[in-house]
Amino acid sequence: MGEVRNAIIVWSADAVISVGGSWGTLSEVTLAMRRGDVPVIALGGWRVVGADGTAVPGIRHVGTPEEAIAEALGS
């Protein structure tokens, strides 16, 4: 399946929690942000910034797995 796997995962999700980060993780975060209707939570790993160095809005950065779950559930 290759890279299509990332799209299948994102389009099947109610929320996307990225843990750490490599290129595949960044791809999944990008697809989730483009999808636009699911929470995108980052636990460590990638911090996406614009050309001016400010954080791209929409990605919720957390410090613990418990915080990630709470964000995903909207708690």
Q: What is the pLDDT of residue 66?
A: 97
Cα separation, 49 vs 3, whole angstroms? 24
Closest CA to 31 of 9, 56, 63, 7: 7
- pLDDT tens digit sequence for 39-68: 999 999 888 899 999 988 999 999 999 999
Task: Grade residue 32 by pLDDT with cuts at 50, 70 and 90.
Answer: very high
Task: Grade residue 2 by pLDDT with cuts at 50, 70 and 90.
Answer: confident
Element housing 57 (H / E) = none
Task: Grade residue 21 by pLDDT with cuts at 50, 70 and 90.
Answer: confident
pLDDT of 75 > 90? The answer is no
Domain ranges of the chain: 4-73
List the structure tokens of 13.
């999700």
List the structure tokens of 60.
């919720």
